[in-house]
Amino acid sequence: MTDRELQDLRRRLGTLPRGRGRRFPAALRERIIAWTVERRARGAWWCELSRELGVPAQTLQRWATRRPDRALSLRPVDVIDDVPSTRTVTIVAPSGLRLEGVTIADAITILRGLA
């Protein structure tokens, strides 16, 4: 990609609202990702790319590393239909309250009573 591509990307980015939480159109985001991946392949640093585009480096990293073609794989799980109510738990609250060896139902009752 050329300097012309960078100029076009910067021009398009300039038309978007600034600030946290701003949304990027999908087509523009894909162009930015392609540009970023190519520049990274040639040795550019994330901070350099961020400065050139005016997009936070963390955003560029997240976009470039979470590609749809790198989808997470699904893993098998075992679903248990019936959980015995006699199973005990240990809960430690941020306040330091510690409940040990109580059933889940009892823990819920105790914690609701504290609220």
The residue with tokens 């970023």 is 36
- Whole-structure pTM value: 0.53
Residue 104: the pLDDT is: 83
pLDDT in the model for residue 26: 86
- Average of per-residue pLDDT across 81-106: 78
- Find the helix packing angle between 57-65 and 46-53, rounded to 10°: 110
Quick check: 88 pLDDT over 60?
A: yes
Closest CA to 12 of 48, 30, 66, 60: 30
What is the pLDDT, as a whole number, of residue 85?
60
The domain spans of the chain are: 3-70, 86-115
The pLDDT tens digits for 10-69 are 888 888 777 777 788 888 888 989 899 988 888 889 999 989 988 888 988 988 887 665
CA distance 81 to 73: 25
Question: For residue 115, what pLDDT band results from cuts at 50, 70 and 90?
Answer: low
